[in-house]
Amino acid sequence: MANQGAVHEDVVVLVPGFLGFSVFGRFPYFADRVPSTLAALLREKWARDVSVVPASTVPTGRLRDRIGEIVAFIGKLQALGAKRFHLVGHSTGGVDAQLLMTTAPFWGDDWSDAARGAREAVQSVVTISAPHYGTCLLDSAVAEFVSHPSFGGALPFIKATGPLFSLAIKDLSQLETLLDVSTKQLPDAWHFVASIIRHHELLDELKPAAMQEVRAKVKPDPRTKLTCFATGADARSGPGRESDPFYTELNGLGHADDSKPATQDVLENVGRIADAPPAIWIRNIASPSFRIEPGTNDGVVNTARQVLPGARLAGIVVGDHADVIGDYDRIDLATGLPMNTGIFRSGACFGDDQFLELYRRVADSMVAPR
């Protein structure tokens, strides 16, 4: 056990994505079972205690600012006794973590002394659902309206968000989630809304064309082990596991540019995923594998844009963007009722078994301390 006010020498830093903070409404960004599961798996694997710490980044801030926040966070942990770090980034957090571990910053210049000190301590990087080549969702008229509001973009935005509010009206628990004004959640909710209003740079940076330019400027640091996990879930209709309307809408927006030619990197990833052995897939046997094409996505990020050349592809997950960080369907065994409600359900049947398998592989992807 680490002393009070200190951490263990080995630290796993969980880097969040777009939200950049711990709780929004009822949803904790990294559900408590993510750090607890990883800590238990690594303790068993390495025969020593490990600190698993969710980081804070800049909500909707520029990639450069978010990377700076990781550097500062690692510096604070080093002052508390940490010596070796493993970065696990979800969504944009995976992009942040990987870009920190490139030979030079994508914005030019050299790494700062603080960044060099942080980089030297990082042993491995794991990314989950990361838009390494951007996401087609941000090329949609809906995303353009969010980042650059205009009168002409209002109609597509209303159309896309319509299912969300119609679902809320049918289910008062959803309405409570959307309009949660408790004193605990309100600051985070308003902070998120205010951040989006103030900063649209991140949305612009994560567009496919912009991320392709970033990729052309950087080279992964060969000293750092890089592992990618890709996620995807087709929208489902009909009886049984039907996707929520809002998920269906977002999934369709992710397919919106299917008519455009994909870049060579994305096409190569489509082939890489298609050729992957069955053992690499993580899915509930009740859920079929998703279609493998450039537009396939997890409701937020296209699957074929989540893997980098030279990285180990350790898992292809049939699940949506939120499933993999612990916000998946769970049933209270005592009551038979859902333990969490949502407006973003793919119907992929991702559950406890898939969650444990995913994070077992995440633990296996980290460099063991000597």
- pLDDT, residue 168, reads 43
Diameter of the chain measured on Cα atoms:
59
User: For residue 153, is it within any domain?
Assistant: no
User: What is the span of the domain harbouring residue 103?
Assistant: 10-138+201-364
The DSSP symbol for 149 reads: -
User: For residue 351, is it within any domain?
Assistant: yes
User: For residue 254, is it within any domain?
Assistant: yes
Sequence letter at residue 92? T
- pLDDT, residue 340, reads 59
How many structural domains does the chain have? 1
229: enclosing H helix or E strand: strand 225-232
User: For residue 358, is it within any domain?
Assistant: yes
- pLDDT, residue 82, reads 96
Question: Cα–Cα distance between 61 and 64 in angstroms, integer?
Answer: 8
Question: Cα–Cα distance between 168 and 172 in angstroms, integer?
Answer: 6
170 contacts 245 by C-beta, under 8 angstroms? no
Which residue stretches of the chain have pLDDT < 70? 1-5, 19-28, 58-60, 141-199, 239-240, 256-260, 331-332, 336-343
- Contacts within 8 Å (CB) and 24+ apart, 181-185: 184/23, 185/23, 185/24, 185/25, 185/26
User: For residue 156, is it within any domain?
Assistant: no
Question: Cα–Cα distance between 263 and 86 in angstroms, integer?
Answer: 31
User: For residue 90, is it within any domain?
Assistant: yes
Nearest C-alpha neighbor of 40 from the set 30, 51, 31: 51
Tell me the pLDDT tens digit for each residue of 77-115: 999 999 999 999 999 999 999 999 999 999 998 999 999
Question: CA of 104: how far to CAs of 90, 218, 350, in Å?
Answer: 22, 7, 38
User: For residue 162, is it within any domain?
Assistant: no
106 contacts 210 by C-beta, under 8 angstroms? no
Tell me the pLDDT tens digit for each residue of 177-197: 444 444 444 444 445 455 555
148 contacts 259 by C-beta, under 8 angstroms? no
For residue 117, what is the domain's CATH number?
A: 3.40.50
User: For residue 48, is it within any domain?
Assistant: yes
